[in-house]
A and B are shown apart, each in its own frame.
Chain A
Amino acid sequence: MSKEVAAAAVRGSHDVVSRVEQRLQDAMAEFGEEQKVGFPQTAFYLPMACALLGEEVETLGQMQPVLEQTKSLLHEEPSEKLWLPYLSSALDSGIATLLAQEMLAALRYLYEEEPQDGWHGFISDTILRSLGIQLVDGRLPGFAAVIGAAPDVETAEYIIRELQKRSLLTFLIGNHEGQTMRDQLIEAHVLPDDILENPASGWDTYIVPIGPDTESIIYVLNWAMRGALTFGGLEKGDWKGCLDYTRAHIFAFGLGLGTIDDLKFASGAGAITMGAPVICDTEIPEIRPTGVCTYEALVRELDHDRIVQTCVDVRGVKVTVREVDVPVPVAPAFEGETVRRPDMHVEFGGKYSTAFEYVTMRDMDEVEDGKVEVIGPDIDTVEEGGAMPLGIYLEVAGRKMQKDFESLLERRIHSTANYAHGIFHMGQRDMAWVRVSKDAFAAGWRLRHFGDVIIAELKDEMGVIIDKVQAIITTDQNKIDELLPEAQAAYHERDERIGEMTDESVDIFYSCSLCQSYAPDHICIISPERLGLCGAYNWLDGKAAYEISPHGANQPVEKGRCIDATIGEWEKINDFVRRESHGTVDRVSLYSIMDSPMTSCGCFECILAMLPEANGFMIVNREYTGMTPLGMEFSTLAGTVGGGHQTPGFLGVGRRYVISRKFITGDGGLPRLVWMPNELKQDLAEGLQERAKELDTPDLPAQIATEQDAEAINDLVEHLQKVSHPALEMEALL
């Protein structure tokens, strides 16, 4: 019965708290209380203590009050008979365990014991942000924290495939009698051997080995908790808000494989307090009444065939399993998979052959839905490791289809092909590069399956605008030579049209409230010249999404009377934002950082921030982990933006906004940009040159500093003076 669970959780919490107490005492003796402690790349100190207690722990000494509060949550074990209510003790023990595990982990970082070899350890804020859009658009419907190990390698593989099929991000934690799920999955070749050298590569396949002991679960849970602070916009210390948020918005669950000991029960109690239920494959007592979690709290499922479905049901995760009639599983979890040369059966494009993909619109009667025509030799005719040319030529028709959507559909080929397990796709248009793995080939993958999987996925995602799709998949060079010029002409024409599209040329912008499931007051406005801050949605995407789902997250917003063209403020945009932000934002400008800037949810690609000393702005992308001239890393900086709050001087943007003609025109435009990471500068080099030319400042790209020129503000100002950056001569920002 649940009393045993409560008793175990109470014991587990006592154990971990006494361990952290001892370690903290030792560390204080060794380093003194001023010794810095913390995790890499987070703006939230010890995130659990920060969210639940409002404590900003930066030193060993500051851990002491957290430890005291943790100890006050410890309870007595429920008695054998005539017990006092124990659910509350168990939940308190859970919180105590999380707080203690977090301190323990921080101390391990101090002693450089973490991350352990071959394990990921702490999860940075940046990873949270970069996954943001996948969380909100349903590609990543939930998280599984697998604790322990499966009874055998086959079961481990089966369970992980079931999780992947449902696109659930899976964390591997702890062990069962020394055996870890990570090692089982390496043995099953689900995880590559080099996962040990680069555990972070697990993000690509949705399987991340976190740590080999139960305590490592804190990395997952204090990561989930940061969702409340970053996307939820909740205040540090608003424990009720944060815990309500994780229950309502973070679809996580624990999957306990093998023996559940006291510490696992105590950790589970912590997860349950956050609203994440725990499902186990052993004879544990169940806690089925709901209310702490949305549904049951603790459930046993002894049947491994059913266990993943049980997890999904108990957490109430909304997943769609893709049923496409191809020989390999298909799911977003496989999107990030790469197929390396030694594992490859055949490749198309890249350096070795021509490969292109093209979508064109036809009349309804010109398309036979689902038809896949294969022209040329199939992949069983090439030698293993060989190359072939490839043409993927799709013809679509639909009552709501528009010419403008062709490119949108075409871009979807990349992800849909990648969803197939064992298929790797990169690039687009006539720069596509595709590989088929040996495993996929052995499973029966042939050319027609490209057609099958792309048609099925396109119709699944875009079924509202396309009624019919037919595909030609060709490896015949003659056929390719025949089709390619038509495609290339279309690419060119599209580019021309997009290039002409300006914010003035349309009357309607699109809103995006996808992130409101995480940041309830945030609303994005997407215009032709300012794409969404996540970088994933441009104006055309918004338009198509509205066609697909008229009551969905993307709504057309009339601009109305222009109030100020320089900062990009319109009457009806203001009205809309005021309503959709639930009154928290009164005015919004599209092109200004300083005057009523747009809010951010938290999943921005880049942050623009004011540098008063330089009379300009810097931009930093989330991949950049170094220091910025503002004296903050991206992760710290990101903590100040987001959550749907307007923060003049700071703005979350998509990276391509930098090369838009409407780039912060309200604040002086591109000449105000004084610093950016080198990687970003290289990525945008072509666009920057073009814009600089248009602005008649051809030297500007060279004048914008990178970390190679300066990292500190003083050095930066000096550098800017040396290169005569135009920002220095502009009107004072403040």
Chain B
Amino acid sequence: MTAPEERSIDSAAQQMIDRAQQDEIGLAWDRYEEMQPQCGFGQLGICCRICHMGPCRIDPFGHGSQEGVCGADANSIAARNLVRMIAAGAAAHSDHGRDVALTMLEAARNPDSGYQIRDPQKLRVIAEEYGVATDGQSVTKMAEAVAEKALAEFGQQEGELRFPLRAPAVRVKLWRDQGIMPRGIDREIVQIMHQTHMGVDADYRNILRQGLRCALADGWGGSMIATDLQDVLFGSPQPIRSKTNLGVLKEDHVNIVVHGHEPALSEMIVEAARDSELVAQAKELGAAGINLAGQCCTGNELLMREGIPSAGSFLHQELAIMTGATDAMVVDVQCIMPQLAHLSERFHTKLLTTSSKAKMPGVEHLEFHEDQALEIARQIVSVGVENFANRDGQRVQIPDEEMDLIAGFTAEYVYTLLGGRFRPSYRPLNDAIMAGRLRGVAGVVGCENPQIPQGYGHITMAKELIKNDVLVLVTGCSALADARAGLLQPEAALEMAGDGLKEVCEAIGMPPVLHVGSCVDNSRILIACAEMVAEGGLGEDISDLPVAGAAPEWMSEKAISIGYYVVASGVYTVFGTPQNVLGAPQLHKLVVDELEEMVGARFDFEADPVKAAHMMIRHMDNKRKALGLDEMMYEQALPVAAG
């Protein structure tokens, strides 16, 4: 059994892991170790269970079978598996987006829904983009029309999605020329399922091409709809103070942890947790009040918009229950470990599933419906409050670890951030890059994975990047990991950033690592890239920008979809552990090399976060050189290569 320090670099996590070891409770890390050795065929991507002639597998050493029963070779098998991951990831994000659009429709049509349009300005902008009449229209009329337009994009069969047109013109043309401009969100996902059905597409390149189109339908489609409509419904984030880590759970409060990915319910829980009756009830039971904390991306959504503290990231979900202080854990969709059902039974924690799409055997299900949102939220909070009475004070052990942070940055807010109300502009950002104060901008995103000590990849990479004057944008679990390390504090710029980045952060008053939201909010990074191109001076296309992406601790299919839409948008991206393509040499070459020619960007796989950071920086250096930008203004920890 590996030591807690090898499992997570977070001291709070280590304390809970240590407790679990003492109590002989199995956590994700233990299950991971028990799983060793993991299936090599699966890892290499060359196991096919698509039809019942199989399962088939290709011998990676060339001695045994090189074809499946149907004759599919390693490249087509791995490609099919890979794009099915894209389809699943795109489906997850996009179904989330669909639900947001449906919530908005409810908000527009039902005055008693409890939802309201909190950002009418952004609604107007989107309405104009969709060609919806805005003059003299009421906010609810506009919202209804926008929701209908957004919903239509899912089932659209022909033409093009609307939001990809936000990309630079050169990029849009490239997508059209390459035949990867998405037509409809659902259509691209469905086509992958068809195309990879037994006996359909055997050309790994053609398969991957559809994978790119589907990924774009996620990033510039489903995810972007999710982000934008959530901003309209729940308010566009602005910089806000909060805290993170298990220490945000309070011993003397009713602790309700919301976990998963969608804010529609949890925004209502925020309101319910302030309900005076429920608070009074909590106090009657001896609690000082009701403490709401988020986890994973539901947590990020609430953190960004409401400043609700986050009790941690993906691998903290079990640990929150391990504190013995979580009275209720409310889950919606995605990244929820089924193990929670068993673990919660060993503590007093009441686990509640809320989505009709995500249930667990034996777990109480309180299903969320948009039209009764607030009432359901009250019931949920009430379950938590009542369960406070069952808490065993003896078993409460909350690590004394919490970290202050600033969250709430968006692509739109950059305008205000850099110019206030009267000089809104991306100019200072572009200028900083052009003048060599900033070497570039990196998006470090993605999951956590017991294969890597929790947070090590994200934090080490972010530190290496900011040390070299790279501004870092983070989302999802990556953001929460960096937050635990204090990187989301403005002071971090003074202590850890290179001189150029430090100067920029000092001038603006911002942290060197900017939290831009949940994992659907990676769409914000795409928009920021498009804005940088539009501002001018950094080339004509996103692929000209000195920017790079990374997913150092990735694990989910959503991460794959994100990776592919980022690369298809022209951003070089480094994954920590390799994607499941190493058993398919030609596909591998396509992914890490030939994609460059096709879409102007490619992947690399590098598990060492420092090396990976250096690869990203070198890429930025190359782009800087191609743009003829000034040399770096200050001495660099990783010097710019000569010539």
Q: Which A residues fall within an 8 A CB radius of B?
A: 1-3, 6, 52, 73, 78, 81-92, 94-95, 239-240, 243, 273, 287-292, 297
**A288 adjacent to B420 (CB under 8 Å):** no
26 A-B contact pairs sorted by A residue (CB < 8 Å): A1-B506, A2-B507, A3-B506, A6-B509, A81-B404, A82-B491, A83-B490, A83-B509, A84-B509, A85-B239, A85-B490, A86-B508, A87-B417, A87-B420, A88-B418, A91-B419, A92-B421, A94-B420, A95-B422, A239-B422, A273-B423, A289-B507, A290-B431, A290-B432, A291-B425, A292-B418
Shortest Cβ distance from B425 into chain A, in angstroms?
Answer: 7
B449 within 8 A of A: no
**A291 adjacent to B509 (CB under 8 Å):** no
Interface centre among B240, B241, B425, B490 (most CB of A within 10 A): B490
- Number of contacting residues on B, CB 8 A? 33
Shortest Cβ distance from B285 into chain A, in angstroms?
Answer: 33
B503 within 8 A of A: yes
**A291 adjacent to B422 (CB under 8 Å):** no
Interface centre among B423, B494, B506 (most CB of A within 10 A): B423
**B509 adjacent to A73 (CB under 8 Å):** no
**B428 adjacent to A291 (CB under 8 Å):** yes
**B490 adjacent to A88 (CB under 8 Å):** no
Chain B residues with Cβ under 8 A from A89's Cβ?
420
**A291 adjacent to B420 (CB under 8 Å):** no
Chain A residues with Cβ under 8 A from B420's Cβ?
87-92, 94-95, 273
**B417 adjacent to A289 (CB under 8 Å):** no
Nearest 5 A/B pairs, CB to CB: A291-B428, A91-B420, A86-B509, A88-B420, A291-B427
**A87 adjacent to B508 (CB under 8 Å):** yes
Q: Given the known A-B contacts A82-B404, A87-B417, are A243 and B422 also in contact in the complex, defined by CB atoms under 8 Å?
A: yes
| A-contact 0/1 string along B402-417, CB 8 Å cutoff | 0010100000000011
Shortest Cβ distance from A674 into chain B, in angstroms?
Answer: 45
Shortest Cβ distance from B407 into chain A, in angstroms?
Answer: 11
Q: Given the known A-B contacts A95-B420, A290-B435, A291-B418, are A85 and B510 also in contact in the complex, defined by CB atoms under 8 Å?
A: yes
A231 to B572, CA, bound (A): 46
Shortest Cβ distance from B283 into chain A, in angstroms?
Answer: 30
**B421 adjacent to A290 (CB under 8 Å):** no
CB-contact partner of A289 in B423, B489, B504, under 8 A? B504
**B239 adjacent to A84 (CB under 8 Å):** yes
Chain B residues with Cβ under 8 A from A83's Cβ?
490, 509
Shortest Cβ distance from A111 into chain B, in angstroms?
Answer: 29
A52 to B509, CA, bound (A): 26
A290 to B420, CA, bound (A): 15
| A-contact 0/1 string along B220-255, CB 8 Å cutoff | 000000000000000000011100000000000000
Chain A residues with Cβ under 8 A from B241's Cβ?
82, 84
Shortest Cβ distance from B143 into chain A, in angstroms?
Answer: 26
B437 within 8 A of A: yes
B430 within 8 A of A: yes
**B490 adjacent to A91 (CB under 8 Å):** no
A6 to B420, CA, bound (A): 12
**Chain A: CB-nearest residue to B490:** A83
Shortest Cβ distance from A297 into chain B, in angstroms?
Answer: 8
Interface centre among A81, A88, A94, A273 (most CB of B within 10 A): A88
**Chain A: CB-nearest residue to B508:** A87
Q: Given the known A-B contacts A84-B241, A95-B421, A243-B423, are A289 and B437 also in contact in the complex, defined by CB atoms under 8 Å?
A: yes
B533 within 8 A of A: no
**A85 adjacent to B430 (CB under 8 Å):** no
A287 to B508, CA, bound (A): 9
A3 to B406, CA, bound (A): 16
**Chain B: CB-nearest residue to A95:** B422
Q: Given the known A-B contacts A92-B421, A95-B420, are A84 and B406 also in contact in the complex, defined by CB atoms under 8 Å?
A: yes
Q: Given the known A-B contacts A91-B423, A92-B420, A92-B421, are A291 and B506 also in contact in the complex, defined by CB atoms under 8 Å?
A: no
A82 to B437, CA, bound (A): 23
**Chain B: CB-nearest residue to A78:** B509
**A91 adjacent to B422 (CB under 8 Å):** yes
**Chain B: CB-nearest residue to A88:** B420
Chain B residues with Cβ under 8 A from A73's Cβ?
421
Shortest Cβ distance from B403 into chain A, in angstroms?
Answer: 10
Chain B residues with Cβ under 8 A from A91's Cβ?
419-423
A83 to B508, CA, bound (A): 11
**A290 adjacent to B428 (CB under 8 Å):** yes
B581 within 8 A of A: no
Interface centre among A73, A90, A92, A291 (most CB of B within 10 A): A291
CB-contact partner of A3 in B418, B427, B437, B509, under 8 A? B509
**B421 adjacent to A82 (CB under 8 Å):** no
A505 to B423, CA, bound (A): 52
Chain B residues with Cβ under 8 A from A86's Cβ?
508-509
B429 within 8 A of A: yes
Shortest Cβ distance from A519 into chain B, in angstroms?
Answer: 23
Chain A residues with Cβ under 8 A from B422's Cβ?
52, 91-92, 95, 239-240, 243, 273
Shortest Cβ distance from A615 into chain B, in angstroms?
Answer: 44
A135 to B381, CA, bound (A): 69
A6 to B508, CA, bound (A): 9
Shortest Cβ distance from B304 into chain A, in angstroms?
Answer: 14
Interface centre among B241, B420, B431, B432 (most CB of A within 10 A): B420
A88 to B238, CA, bound (A): 12
A111 to B240, CA, bound (A): 45
**A82 adjacent to B503 (CB under 8 Å):** no
Chain B residues with Cβ under 8 A from A1's Cβ?
494, 506
**A292 adjacent to B423 (CB under 8 Å):** yes
A239 to B508, CA, bound (A): 22
**A288 adjacent to B416 (CB under 8 Å):** no
CB-contact partner of B419 in A78, A82, A289, A292, under 8 A? A292
User: 16 extra interchain contacts, Cβ-Cβ under 8 A, other than A84-B239, A91-B423?
Assistant: A2-B509, A81-B404, A82-B490, A84-B241, A87-B417, A87-B509, A88-B419, A90-B420, A91-B421, A95-B421, A287-B507, A288-B503, A289-B508, A290-B432, A291-B418, A292-B418
**B427 adjacent to A85 (CB under 8 Å):** no
A1 to B491, CA, bound (A): 12
Shortest Cβ distance from B66 into chain A, in angstroms?
Answer: 57
Chain A residues with Cβ under 8 A from B435's Cβ?
289-290
Shortest Cβ distance from B243 into chain A, in angstroms?
Answer: 10
A88 to B421, CA, bound (A): 7
Shortest Cβ distance from B531 into chain A, in angstroms?
Answer: 13
**Chain B: CB-nearest residue to A270:** B422
Shortest Cβ distance from B532 into chain A, in angstroms?
Answer: 12
A95 to B490, CA, bound (A): 25
A569 to B427, CA, bound (A): 44
Chain B residues with Cβ under 8 A from A92's Cβ?
420-422
Chain A residues with Cβ under 8 A from B508's Cβ?
85-87, 289
Chain A residues with Cβ under 8 A from B503's Cβ?
288-289
A243 to B241, CA, bound (A): 32
Within 8 A of A (CB), among B411-460: 416-423, 425, 427-432, 435, 437
Chain A residues with Cβ under 8 A from B437's Cβ?
289
Chain B residues with Cβ under 8 A from A287's Cβ?
507
**Chain B: CB-nearest residue to A94:** B420
**A2 adjacent to B506 (CB under 8 Å):** yes
**A85 adjacent to B509 (CB under 8 Å):** yes
Chain A residues with Cβ under 8 A from B504's Cβ?
289
**Chain B: CB-nearest residue to A298:** B507
Shortest Cβ distance from A439 into chain B, in angstroms?
Answer: 45
A365 to B391, CA, bound (A): 109
**Chain A: CB-nearest residue to B494:** A1
Chain A residues with Cβ under 8 A from B428's Cβ?
289-292
Interface centre among B416, B504, B507 (most CB of A within 10 A): B507
Within 8 A of A (CB), among B474-495: 489-491, 494
Within 8 A of A (CB), among B20-35: none
A89 to B421, CA, bound (A): 9
A52 to B420, CA, bound (A): 14
Chain B residues with Cβ under 8 A from A243's Cβ?
422-423
Shortest Cβ distance from B575 into chain A, in angstroms?
Answer: 32
A1 to B507, CA, bound (A): 8
**Chain B: CB-nearest residue to A92:** B420
